[in-house]
Amino acid sequence: MIPSLGALRFGCNEKDMSMEPAVISPLVGNAPMTAELHARIAGLRRQIGSRLVVLGHHYQRDEVIEFADRRGDSLDLSLHTATLKDVEYVIFCGVHFMAETADIVTPRDVTVLLPDLRAGCSMADMADIDQVEECWDVLTAATNETIVPITYINSTAALKAFCGRHGGAVCTSSNARKVVEWAFEQGSKLLFFPDQHLGRNTCADLGIPLDDMVVYDPHENDGGHDSTTYERVPVILWKGHCSVHQNFMPNHPDVMRTRFPGIKVIVHPECQHEVVEKADLAGSTKFIVQTVENAEPGSKWAIGTEHHLVNRLHLEHPDKTIVSLSPFACQCSTMFRISAEALADCMQSIVDGVPRHVIRVDPETVKWSMVALERMMAMR
């Protein structure tokens, strides 16, 4: 019998944070959607018809992802959005930066909506344009070498535009390696923001020693280092992280392997470097999904990523043991703000002719963001 995702938990000793196997109450899943609400969304969707495309990120709730015309990770959805034709509206069931990206890559006559404007991204909030501009001044004053800025797609449109203006690019977890390789063909130094872990893991995978990377802290004077440090190292990482993937600890793979002999550990590269080092595999959300889908029946997987996706994979593949790598529910709380009710209200606003929660990026930011995004999409 395959154990339920929620039943596989661990007791945690508060003193030393060591973990012992334990069984506690199952994870509380998504509350079932009422038949009335389901019928309302389905009816609105039929009423709007082909004028609307609904996009859903893998981390969305099940009752929301059900209505997505396409589900995927950031790169897949960005590439798909850029190809849309004869569409009037895009509802992006994700977070704010994803909706911004959709507005940037679609024609100006396409209206992009985010069902809940509170759906932001804590990682994206860890780097704003003023901080990045200040960092750029510090780095360019410290060295005459060419610095190439790379922003993870989990960032504001302003940061994407910054990279476009300064010869850089956007990357996702799917193509970070290709983008970083490209960056070092353009210059000798890399500024990677806002996620230090993806930057560190990608560079380490390319053979760059950890000692050749430093973390720039926007809350410290000059980022916390002197100019000689920035002159010495080829990689400057921003002090930012994903609040979900930060929760996976280096001892989690050890505990899982003890609990389930033969289990494979697969994690997202937003996890800490020590976690990625202990994992059997690391890759993007799409990579995780495809790996599990293609795995042999009877195989066992501990997955280090957002728990809605882990739970969905558990339910969709009952022939495999699929559990979360963490003893706690690693949920993207901002992604969770997109509810079925919010999706219904968003569709209703289109039917009423007064679209709500429209995401619109100004033309100058669109221009330079597209430069950086087109470089990203060329390196898919």
Separation between Cα atoms, residue 223 and residue 135, nearest integer Å: 7
Secondary structure of the chain: what % helix, strand, coil (to 5)?
45, 15, 40
- Among residues 81, 90, 222, which one has the least CA distance to residue 153? 81
Asked if pLDDT for residue 298 goes beyond 90, the answer is yes
Separation between Cα atoms, residue 287 and residue 174, nearest integer Å: 8
> How does pLDDT run across 157-175, given as a tens digit for each residue?
999 999 999 999 999 998 9
Mean pLDDT of 301-318: 91
CATH topology of domain 124-242: Rossmann fold (3.40.50)
Mean pLDDT of 324-350: 85
Sign of the torsion formed by the C-alpha atoms of 215, 216, 218 and 223: positive
Residue 266's contacts (CB-CB under 8 Å, 6 or more residues apart) are 279, 280, 281, 282, 283, 288, 291, 292, 301, 302, 303, 304
Give SS3 for 264.
strand
- Which tokens belong to 227? 């100019």
Separation between Cα atoms, residue 171 and residue 327, nearest integer Å: 30
Q: Do domains 35-120+336-361 and 124-242 have the same CATH topology?
A: yes
What region, left, alpha or beta, does residue 210 occupy, with left being phi > 0 and alpha being psi -120 to 50 degrees?
alpha
pLDDT for residue 337? 80
Find how far residue 203's CA is from the centre of its chain.
Answer: 18
Separation between Cα atoms, residue 251 and residue 332, nearest integer Å: 22
> How does pLDDT run across 118-162, given as a tens digit for each residue?
887 888 889 999 999 999 999 999 999 999 999 999 999 999 999
The identity of residue 115, as a single letter, is P
> How does pLDDT run across 268-284, given as a tens digit for each residue?
999 999 999 999 999 99
- Whole-number average pLDDT of the chain: 88
Q: Which CATH number fits domain 245-324: 1.10.1740.10, 3.40.50.10800, 3.30.70.2470, 1.20.120.1200?
A: 3.40.50.10800
Asked if pLDDT for residue 286 goes beyond 60, the answer is yes
Residue 15's contacts (CB-CB under 8 Å, 6 or more residues apart) are none
Residue with tokens 């609400």: 37
pLDDT for residue 19? 40
One-character DSSP codes across 207-249: T--GGGEEEE-TTSGGGGS-HHHHHH-SEEEES---TTGGG--
Separation between Cα atoms, residue 251 and residue 8, nearest integer Å: 16
> Which band of pLDDT confidence, cut at 50, 70 and 90, is reported for residue 79?
confident
> How does pLDDT run across 194-238, given as a tens digit for each residue?
999 999 999 999 999 999 999 999 999 999 999 999 999 999 999
> How does pLDDT run across 7-41, given as a tens digit for each residue?
333 333 333 333 433 222 233 344 568 999 999 99
pLDDT for residue 31? 53
Number of helices and strands (H, E) in the chain?
15, 16
> How does pLDDT run across 90-123, given as a tens digit for each residue?
999 988 888 999 999 999 999 999 999 888 788 8
More confident residue, 304 or 121: 304
Asked if pLDDT for residue 3 goes beyond 70, the answer is no
pLDDT for residue 95? 86
CATH topology of domain 35-120+336-361: Rossmann fold (3.40.50)
pLDDT for residue 56? 92
Contact 325, 273 (CB under 8 A): no
pLDDT for residue 329? 65
Separation between Cα atoms, residue 287 and residue 270, nearest integer Å: 13
Mean pLDDT of 310-332: 87
Separation between Cα atoms, residue 288 and residue 336, nearest integer Å: 20
Separation between Cα atoms, residue 240 and residue 217, nearest integer Å: 9
DSSP-assigned beta bridge partners for residue 19: 12
Domain boundaries along the sequence of the chain: 35-120+336-361, 124-242, 245-324
